């Protein structure tokens, strides 16, 4: 499923696309979180791990910017290739809280995109990073929720 998850028909952006002034923005990944924060506004929910490309730590400057993002910080554990109950619940609570939240993942945050799409309200935007390519913007609608839920079902997430 890894390759299927990487395949997207959505445009890949180097910078934040115009028209991102939507009510709710979720970012998954450190670099896209920083870019959206700098180019649009602070995300309502950001899910990060203080790393880029799986194992490179953020620079001191990037870390300093990241430390400004989020009014509430939640720390969770999540192994690579999974979505832990802890991560799933943190996303669910953050969306319902209406407080700008930064979820800091110890482990890997890549698959959090699926949980974010599944749990977000219709009309939200989920923006995730594609290493060495840019960022992908997903409009949360019935079709994208269905696709995310199908992946989650295949992963045995219920």
- 19 versus 142: the higher-pLDDT residue is 142
* Encoded tokens for 34: 């920083």
Average pLDDT, the chain: 91
- Please give the average per-residue pLDDT across 111-140, as a whole number: 93
Q: For 43-69, write each residue's pLDDT tens digit.
A: 999 999 999 877 788 999 999 999 999
- Residue 1 banded pLDDT, cuts 50, 70, 90: very low
Count CB neighbours of 127 within 10 A. 26
- Residue 9 banded pLDDT, cuts 50, 70, 90: confident
138 CB-near residues (< 8 Å, 6+ apart): 10, 113, 117, 125, 126, 127, 128, 144
pLDDT value at residue 6? 60
């Amino acid at each position: 499923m890894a390759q299927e998850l990487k395949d997207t028909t959505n445009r890949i952006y180097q910078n934040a696309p115009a028209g991102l002034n939507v009510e709710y923005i979720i970012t998954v990944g450190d670099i896209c979180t920083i870019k959206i924060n700098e180019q649009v506004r602070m995300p309502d929910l950001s899910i990060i791990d203080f790393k880029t490309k799986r194992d490179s730590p953020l620079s001191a400057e990037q870390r300093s910017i990241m430390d400004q993002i989020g009014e509430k910080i939640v720390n969770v554990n999540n192994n690579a290739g999974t979505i832990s109950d802890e991560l799933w619940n943190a996303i669910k609570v953050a969306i319902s809280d209406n407080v700008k939240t930064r979820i800091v993942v110890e482990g890997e945050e890549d698959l959090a995109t699926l949980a974010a799409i599944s749990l977000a309200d219709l009309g939200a935007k989920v923006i995730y990073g594609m290493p060495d390519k840019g960022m992908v913007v997903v409009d949360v609608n019935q079709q994208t929720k269905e696709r995310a839920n199908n992946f989650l079902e295949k992963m045995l997430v219920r």
